[in-house]
Chains A and B, each alone.
Chain A
Amino acid sequence: MSGFDWIVPVILTVITAATPLVFAAIGELVTEKSGVLNLGVEGMMLVGAVTGFVTATVTGNYFLAVALAAVAGGFMAFLFGILTLSLMANQVATGLALTLFGVGLSALMGQEFVGEPVASLSKLNIPGISDIPIIGPIVFGQDGLVYLSFVMVALVSWFLYKTKAGLILRAVGDSHDAAHSIGYSVIGIRYMAVIFGGAMSGIGGAYLSLAYTPMWAENMTAGRGWIALALIVFATWKPGLVLVGAYMFGGITILQLHAQAAGLDLPSQVLSMLPYLATVLVLVLISKDQSRIRKHAPACIGKIFHPAA
């Protein structure tokens, strides 16, 4: 391929690879900011993926498919909430159980739909504008969920740092006892944050089964839920950096595939390692500045709140 023709397809591929990560990570970020660690992202994404796929296949309505995927993810998170917030089960163990449950449940739900293709989520093609070289297809040629992912990052950022409700949510995550003592419902706020996180994971999953690879196959998330969890640490709990991290992760993965196809003489194992190496490198760099992590990491993360305490 000559010149820079390859840039546009690469960027388009990076966008589709990063979008499910953005959804899952931005939702889980809100959950964690409220002080709850939900390791069930992978399971919630899978249930969202199968719900979205089944709905789209049966009804042909993609709006409904995405909405129900969000509801399904939110419902999974609600179950997690009952166990960890009301019944005070250990969050780490419950999150892992939620993933295992989600893997099994989604396989069961999708049993009849394995091997059924579905039309991909339609792209927003504005005649004339989408045809502008380079910028056209990248900025104006995406499906609705890509735009929504950016909107969600902006909304979450605005909510957490510019609104009173966001301040309260962060307070609950940093010191549940203090928030409780001045009259905020710690459990109620955490329920909302957990359910929001589940709904976002559900949409991330739906993006996989409706746009990224429009099909249902068991376990099709292939570990993206775990990557989303890692991205939050990578981003030191800052929404903007979650976006950067997701695109960096997607970008390096795609670039290494292109490097291989172009015949670059580097061991493919090294190339496959690159995204993880980059993550480690960034973690080392930001860990040098402890105050930064302390400022943004929720202090009460993973701790069970007992109102009597």
Chain B
Amino acid sequence: MKLKHISTLLGAAAVAASMLTGASASAEDKVGFVYVGPVGDHGWTYRHDLGRQAVQNALGDKVKTTFVESVKEGPDAERVIRQMAADGHKLIFTTSFGYMNPTLKVAKQFPGVKFEHATGYKRMDNVSTYSARFYEGRYVVGKIAGKMTKSNVIGYVGSFPIPEVVRGINATILAARSVNPDVVVKVAWVSTWYDPGKEGDAAKALIDQGADIILQHTDSPAPLQVAESRGVWAVGQASDMSKFAPKAQLTGIIDDWDGYYVARTKAILDGSWKSEDTWGGFNTGLVQLAPYNKAIPADVIQLAEDTRKGIEDGSINPFAGPFNKQDGSVGAAAGSALDDGTLLGMNWYVEGVEGQLPK
């Protein structure tokens, strides 16, 4: 009860804060960003905010960017997005999967405002969607992990069991098993995108259960810190986290939204904006890799680079068959590969992932 009231009040305060930022704007076109975490999380939201700054730097006084951070998914998000739209923002980026329905609801009420929803699958005339094929990065990481693991257990800190996260886990184990058939992935779900303490605890639990490489799909560098102090490997998430784990970080999957945000904002300014769906990977620069750890042997780096280039030029498809689902049924037959529709709705593990996928 008490907590519920408080979160409502905090949501109201976030709305009030967005009103304040809106009130001070002048004649420039306003571009708004709604963030799920704090801009200082050093992960997901941090990278989106670098993108916002890139827009501001590239377009200078033609636009004014505003943002509201740490907006809870659900009703709070709807209030914040509606307030931004009512404030006269021309373009609003909502940067978390859970903002999908709130974004669409507000978009119906403000047909003149353009919206861009990250990682969702529902579009309207004034709602675009965009995401990155992070699984391409995870496939490269999986190859490295399969080569580097000694215990043959990869630990994976999961946020929520949505297709985006499940896809990453599956890409990892497919790649790892292609170079080392004995590898398994163990997953610990933490039910949050951002809670350094809990993310670190999950990493500890996974290491205690035998994992010697920690991957994560949560936003803070805490799991890397745990890996560093326990002397196991880890992979950075969203940004280069090597500062937190100079010895442990094998590489990192970097989200780079800068170019996309600048292009979409320019499209608003010159009137060419259309509702579309963007799902880019290595080929568009949306997904990049942090520098490889010096401890990785040269042949493994070569393998990783070959994989990355292969994905980039289209000769390698991470979800090409043959492989089985966890239950033994066929995931993709030899000579075929999963299509984007299947990937976007992925709600099953492939062989090699331990435990059951929470429904």
Query: Residues of A at under 8 Å CB distance from B?
Result: 1, 6, 9-10, 13, 17, 20, 39, 96, 100, 107, 110-111, 114-117, 120, 208, 212-220, 222-224, 226, 229-230, 253-254, 257-258, 260-265, 267-269, 272
Contacts and interface: CB of A to CB of B under 8 A. Distances in A.
Interface string B142-183: 000000000000010000010000000000000000000000
A120 B229 contact: yes
Interface in B257-307: none
Contacts of A229: 2
A18 B209 CA distance: 21
13 contacts: A1-B209, A13-B205, A39-B6, A219-B194, A253-B198, A253-B201, A257-B201, A258-B209, A260-B189, A261-B187, A265-B356, A269-B358, A272-B191
A226 to B, nearest CB: 6
B97 interface: no
Contacts of B222: 213, 215
Given A111-B40, A268-B358, A230 B3 contact: yes
Nearest to A110: B40
Contacts of A107: 38, 40
Contacts of B210: 1
Contact of B243 (A115, A258, A268): A115
B196 A220 contact: yes
Contacts of A264: 355
Interface residues of B, number: 51
Contact of B13 (A17, A100, A114, A222): A100
A281 B70 CA distance: 31
Contacts of B200: 212-213
Given A215-B225, A260-B187, A263-B354, A224 B38 contact: no
Can you list the 4 inter-chain pairs with the closest CB atoms, starting with the nearest?
A218-B38, A218-B40, A268-B189, A222-B195
B244 interface: yes
A17 B205 contact: no
Contacts of A120: 229
Contacts of B205: 10, 13, 254, 257-258, 260-261
B31 to A, nearest CB: 22
B14 to A, nearest CB: 9
Contacts of B202: 257, 261
A218 B39 contact: yes
B6 A222 contact: no
Interface of B: 2-3, 6, 9-10, 13, 37-42, 46, 69-70, 155, 161, 186-192, 194-198, 200-202, 204-206, 208-211, 220-222, 225, 229, 243-244, 354-356, 358-359
Contacts of B69: 218
Contacts of A254: 201, 205
A262 B2 CA distance: 34
A214 B208 contact: no
Contacts of B161: 268
Given A13-B204, A111-B40, A212-B196, 19 more contacts: A17-B197, A39-B6, A100-B13, A110-B40, A213-B196, A215-B225, A218-B70, A222-B192, A222-B194, A222-B195, A230-B2, A254-B205, A257-B190, A258-B209, A260-B189, A261-B206, A262-B209, A263-B354, A268-B191
Nearest to B161: A268
Contacts of A269: 191, 358
A222 B39 CA distance: 14
Contact of A217 (B40, B155, B190): B40
Contacts of A214: 225
B246 to A, nearest CB: 9
A55 to B, nearest CB: 18
A149 to B, nearest CB: 16
B186 A115 contact: no
Q: Report which residue of B9, B198, B205 has the largest number of chain A beta carbons within 10 angstroms of its beta carbon.
A: B205
A213 B41 CA distance: 13
Nearest to A9: B208
Contacts of B355: 260, 263-265
Contacts of A260: 187-189, 205, 355
A205 B359 CA distance: 35
